[in-house]
Amino acid sequence: MAKKNTPDASPVANFEQSLEELERLVDRMEHGELSLEDSLAAYERGVGLYRQCQAALEQAELRVRLLSDPANPDGAESFAPLPDGN
């Protein structure tokens, strides 16, 4: 049985599920499988999923910084963005 997102669950724990759902929504929208009303609803859902994914990545980065240097997490270098390989 698939895990459900719960309001109190960590964004990091639900990252992969949110990303997969976002990818499915984008695919359906790109292939014109939705009516205008459904496209708008999918877009709204997609924005929410994007924000969840972004929050999860930010939280994961903070956790890595805290593990790398617990005494000075703000002094850690930010991760460089990945090059766009698409």
Q: How far, in Å, CA of 31 to CA of 41, rounded?
A: 16
Q: How far, in Å, CA of 29 to CA of 7, rounded?
A: 27
Which tokens hold the place of 29? 């929208």
Fold of 15-69: Helix Hairpins (1.10.287)
Q: How far, in Å, CA of 22 to CA of 19, rounded?
A: 5
Q: Report the percentage of the chain scoring pLDDT > 90.
A: 47
**pLDDT, position 47:** 96
On whether the pTM is more than 0.75, the answer is no
